[in-house]
Structure 1
Amino acid sequence: MTLSRKAALLLATLSLPFAPAALARTAHNTAHKGSVAPVAAAAPAVPANAPRLLVAIAVDQFSADLFAQYRSHFTGGLGRLQQGAVFPAGYQSHAATETCPGHSTILTGMRPAHTGIIANNWIDQSVTRAKKVVYCAEDETRTAADPKDYVASVGHLLVPTLGERIKAVWPTSRNLAVSGKDRATLMMGGHVIDQGYWWKGSGFTTLEGRAVGPTAVAQNAAVTTTITAGDKPFDLPDWCGARERAVTAGPVTVGTGRFALNAGDANGFRVSPRLDRAVLDLATRLVDEQMLGKGATPDMLSVSLSVTDFVGHGYGTEGTEMCIQLHQLDTALGDFFASLDQRGIDYAVVLTADHGGFDLPERLDQQALPKAQRAGIALLPEALSDKVGATLGLDPKGLILADGPAGDFWVKRDLAPAQKAQVVAAAKAELLADPQVAAVFTADELAATPLPTASPDTWTLLQRARASFYAPRSGDFVVLLQRGVVALPKPGPGYVATHGSPWDYDRRVPMLFWRKGMAGFEQPSPVETVDIAPTLAALIGLNVPAGTFDGRCLDLDAGAGSTCGVTP
């Protein structure tokens, strides 16, 4: 197998030699057996005290609020991580608090303005296909075998991940990623990835052109057994009892669920704590298969756990469903760490999230929070097109395009520049007159705004939007809703709540670092997820040029300087 042109160009920018994937795999496996491997010339030595396995875990939609709310009940893996370095005020500092942008920051050390991942989806009116919405983890230039499907790809990510940087310096190192979502696997793994798996349909799959390996096949067989047989509901921990209250949102009722699994229900498996455990079980199997952490150079394992997000969307953040999910997540993580301990691996862990989340307004209304509300349909692009078209005497069909009532909006591309400017101005005026809208920024305003450098808790809405702005993909203007307004006008089965706002309930996430022997401490000052990559790089002695990351190295030894002092 040879590197793709894009991956080859990316590695060339690192100014470091790299062996093709097949050679790297052979070299790594040989090295792990104790033989001399054909590594790149003059590869720097790995510091003797560096961990041999880095494990980066993202818990999708695990907000700082959820962490604070439940942390006293964690006794498993999340309990262990609280014995290390705890940063309860981490920030996904940008405005576009969605899965793809958030995951793109964690191991690149760069914000969406630099990763190019501005959202889960954006509109590109230049693509030749009829569908102009582009998914962040697809190759829109190719057609999938199934017309309802897409070709998964990491091609939209503009920068390398930490795993790629490690492999560029130490070609014998391994870079693996697993998740419940393809975009999480690809944004954390990157372009040069040895193995990457995600859930699709009723089992784990991988990139087109790659075979699902025997380890993933075995994991899929175990999953199939569970799905075929079905499974009993989860027990409700005693401390979850206060969360049990039925709440109606549109056509669905949530708040009392236990995740019983009907026989043959693959989707029911996916949206239950069982999927997170299956992802961690697959990760454990891959540790054994690839002998991760047993070689002379450090390996990178990325794990993204998606069920907290599925539960947040499908049931909200405050019912029995989320309480059960977080208890089961804590337990599964505890078992995963114990399995690494049993294998005698010197590993370091970081756990964070891609974004936070907000509960469904119907339950928040019961808790005397009347400002929680759903976005009105007047904010949808079709309604906005009608109003602006009538004002300017233009055909409203396709005049303004967007993926929902907030975020990036695009104006019809074949308008004359003067007309386009009129549409943007009229849309902005119309939107700002709506009490649910907090701000509207044009592409020109965002392009003229310097990237923020101050502490993320002090950023203005304009600065938050700027950190998500990448001109070749971003819209002609961006819409930010008021705090408490959920960008989901109509709830339905599987989707009663969401995230994606510029407010701190969506921006703030925990950042937890742990390694055996680490002195535990808690640092409450704001930090960013872009600080993770430079911190892990320093931990393994990976020297990178100044200015490589948007983030900074965090001292994991309570101010002693022993972590960040490794890098220049």
Structure 2
Amino acid sequence: MKYIKTLVLAVILIPLTSLAQKSKTNTPQNINKPARPKLVVGIVVDQMRWDYLYRYAGRYGAGGFNRLLNEGFTCENTQVPYIPTVTAAGHTGIYTGSVPSITGIAGNDFIIQATGKSIYCTDDPTVKTVGSSSNAGEMSPRNLYASTITDELKLATNFRSKVLGIALKDRGGILPAGHAADAAYWFDDETGNWITSTFYMKQLPTWVNGFNDKKLAEKYLKQDWNTLYPIDTYLQSTADNTPYEGKSKGETAPVFPHLTSKLLNGSFSAIRATPYGNSLTLDFAKETIANEQMGKHDQADFLAISLSSTDYVGHQYGVNAVETEDTYLRLDKDLAEFFNYLDLTVGKGQYTLFLTADHGAAHNPQFLIDHEIPAGLWAGPTILKGLNAQLEKEFKQPKIVLSFNNYQVNFNNLLIKEKNLDLQAIKKFSIDYLENQEGVAYAIDMKKIAISSIPEALKQRVINGYNRERSGEIQILLKPGYFQGYGVTGTTHGTWNPYDTHIPLVFMGWGIKHGSLNRETSMADIAPTLAALLHIQEPSGNIGLPIEEVLKK
């Protein structure tokens, strides 16, 4: 009888045990989660024209830019879909999949139209510097209206993914990292340290202090800057000494060697306009990966890196200088070392990386003129002074226009309202005046752009770049080859032309095909492509589309 009872009990318990085991294996923790890379690395090369991928390709090694092209997927016709083409708007566009009209980042700085107050894109007076006694850390992403792809990764993983941003420029580190980042770090000229703000933390991590204690910025500057290879091999560049290049402080001519060791006078800012700034940034990126265990967590992590020195070098020396070529050759070597580091620490094929730019750059206008190519330096400050003088004669009030910032006419709206001036008449007068100035192709009333007689491609860029709270009432479009500069040397960016809007875009690694694409793609397509790769929601202001050809099925 005892045997029969035991047998009956066993028969009853076996199914229950099986059910319990089945239930255990089907708990939510064990259901397959979306496949994702261990780490996503975004690299923005500030002011990198698309053609730099190929201009120096014969001199690049196998492990940097050429590795990206040979192993990854390159989108050969990626365009910035708005103006002005500047750093803050570019980094924001890449990581939001959006445009200034929606994100609110209408320039590096912009004027609040209701008050006339000028605001820097990441200024935040509610936070304090962490890591320095300077005010360089009083920054945050609070001026950004939309979420970023990095924010969306945080949301998708219940904030378990680790997200960090790094750049010499505060805006290059802060805006890509988004609102929910674990940290963003940027460079402090006063101390030569990497700093952050109280938006992220109350004090620097021990490892950041340890890195700062190495005084690498000082060590790099003490090396001086000479060419990586014999100077007569720089055949893609002009002569070393030309009137198109700007000199550093204390130099009699913009020639090699640049004695950066002599520029250490209580400031480390000189490293920005040398290739060593990029080296320092990637040194810090490696240290970040190691100490923050990036790519070692259960969820995908994201490291956003911006390489700022290419922009400073470009502004000072221009597109065709030996300094620019040398900067890219050195960056190529630095990238090769960084990719190898990722292979060893995260694992080759375990991370996804993309490289792009926030904008390009124009040739120096005088350089073009000397080669019989149409160009010119637009005399914005002089024209602004003349316009205000004519407006005062007509409307009996001084300084009706505050600035031409971002190639826009920013009116003194408080004055116009207070004096009950006719804004429509002021706008018409201003447009008539501007369209008679040298170098101006169009001056467009943003309230009437739908009926403006300009090419549709330009019209869309203008609309995308116009934020009604932060952009001027009139958009100025210059003729090809023209830009507003702060001098006759070097170069700048900010316009609608291909040299400013055509940017490189190359993906490599986990989930990425090998190949190339020549159809037009947009900067705004980067974030939704990453969202598709990661199986997460697009950012809140996204207007781009996934580049399907890039992704493995």
TM-score clears 0.5: yes
Aligned residue in 2 for 1:165: 152
**Corresponding residue of 1:294:** 296
Query: Which of 225, 231, 234 lines up with 1:233 in the alignment?
Result: 225
Q: CA deviation at 1:61?
A: 0.3
- Are 2:140 and 1:139 aligned? no
Change (3 A) 1:190 1:405: closer
Paired residues in the alignment total 502
* Alpha-carbon separation, structure 2, partners of 1:405 and 1:387: 22
Distance 1:337 1:496, change over 3 A: same
**2:6 matched to which residue of 1?**
none
What are the equivalent positions in structure 2 for 1:487-566 lying under 5 Å apart?
Answer: 487-488=484-485, 490-491=487-488, 496-515=490-509, 518-544=512-538, 549-557=542-550, 562-563=552-553
* Matched position secondary structure for 1:156: coil
Letter in 2 for 1:217: N
Cα deviation 1:501-533 (Å, max 9, x = unaligned): 111110110100001685421111111111111
Tell me, yes or no, if the aligned pair for 2:148 and 2:178 is still in contact at 8 Å.
yes
Change (3 A) 1:405 1:467: closer
Change (3 A) 1:399 1:214: same
Alpha-carbon displacement from aligned partner over 1:256-301 (angstroms, at most 9, x marks no partner): 4444421525222221111111111111111111111111111111
* Residue identity matched to 1:431: L
Secondary structure of 1:154's match? coil
Contact 2:362 2:499 in 1 (8 A): yes
Give the secondary structure class of the aligned counterpart of 1:317.
Answer: coil
CA shift for structure 1 position 304: 0.3
Equivalent position SS for 2:330: helix
Where do 5+ consecutive residues of structure 1 fail to align? 1-40, 453-457, 564-568
Distance 2:389 2:31 in 1: 62
User: 1: distance between equivalents of 2:400 and 2:388?
Assistant: 5
Q: Distance in 2 between matches of 1:173 and 1:138?
A: 26
Question: Is 1:355 aligned with 2:359?
Answer: yes
1:254 to partner: Cα distance = 6.7
Q: Report the counterpart of residue 463 of structure 1 in structure 2.
A: 460
Q: Which amino acid aligns with 1:81?
A: L
Change (3 A) 1:71 1:516: farther
- 1:313 is matched with 315
> Would the aligned equivalents of 2:236 and 2:325 in 1 still touch at CA under 8 Å?
no
2:424 is equivalent to residue 429 of structure 1: no
Query: 1:175 and 2:168 equivalent?
Result: no
CA contact (8 A) 2:102 2:541 kept: no
Cα separation, 2, equivalents of 1:403 and 1:460: 23
- Is contact 1:65-1:505 (8 Å) kept? no
- For 2:462 and 2:408, the matched residues in 1 are separated by 9
* One-letter code aligned to 1:552: L
SS in 2 for 1:337: helix
Could you say which residue in structure 2 is the equivalent of 1:216? 208
2:286 matched to 1:284? yes
Counterpart among 106, 110, 116 of residue 104 in structure 2 = 116
Q: Partner of 1:399 in structure 2?
A: 400
1:270 alignment partner in structure 2: 272
* Distance in 1 (alpha carbons) for counterparts of 2:229 and 2:254: 15
Question: Residues 530-555 of structure 1: CA distance to partner in whole angstroms, max 9, x if unpaired?
Answer: 1111111111222459x962111112
Shift of residue 459, structure 1, vs aligned partner = 4.5
Between 220-229 and 348-357, report the one with greater CA deviation. 220-229
Would the alpha carbon gap of residues 407 and 74 (structure 1) be closer, same or farther in structure 2, given more than 3 Å must change? farther
Q: Do residues 368 (structure 1) and 356 (structure 2) align? A: no
Tell whether the 8 Å contact from 2:207 to 2:291 is kept in structure 1 after alignment: yes
Aligned residue among 34, 46, 49 for 1:47:
34
**Aligned partner letter, 1:355:** H
Contact 1:258 1:324 (8 Å CA) reproduced: no
Looking at structure 1, the residues matched to 137 and 287 of structure 2 have their Cα atoms a distance apart, in angstroms, of: 28
Residue in 1 that maps onto 2:483: 486
Question: Deviation at 1:204?
Answer: 1.3
Unaligned runs of 5+ in 2: 1-27
Contact 1:95 1:468 in 2 (8 A): yes
The root-mean-square deviation of aligned C-alpha atoms, in Å, is: 3.0
Within 2, Cα distance between the matches of 1:438 and 1:229?
43
Which range moves more in the overlay, 189-198 or 480-489? 480-489
TM-score (ref. length: structure 1): 0.81
Q: Shift of residue 71 of structure 1?
A: 2.9
For 2:296, the aligned partner's letter is K
Distance change (3 Å), C-alpha of 1:229 and 1:313: closer
AA aligned to 2:446 is: A
Partner of 2:339: 337
**CA distance in structure 2 between the partners assigned to 1:124 and 1:60 by the alignment:** 26
Residue identity matched to 1:262: S
* CA distance in 1: counterparts of 2:31 and 2:520, whole angstroms: 34
User: 1:103 matched to which residue of 2?
Assistant: 91
Q: Take 2:536 and 2:346, find their aligned partners in 1: how far apart are those partners?
A: 23
Q: Equivalent residue of 1:222, what SS?
A: coil
In the TM superposition, residue 412 of structure 1 has moved relative to its aligned partner by 3.7
Distance 1:525 1:192 in 2: 34
Give distance in 1, aligned partners of 2:487 and 2:225.
29
Q: Which of 383, 389, 392 in structure 2 is aligned with 1:389?
A: 392
The CA deviation at 1:126 is 5.0
219 and 274 in structure 1: CA distance in 2 versus 1, 3 angstrom threshold = farther
Query: How far apart are the structure 2 equivalents of 1:294 and 1:449?
Result: 55
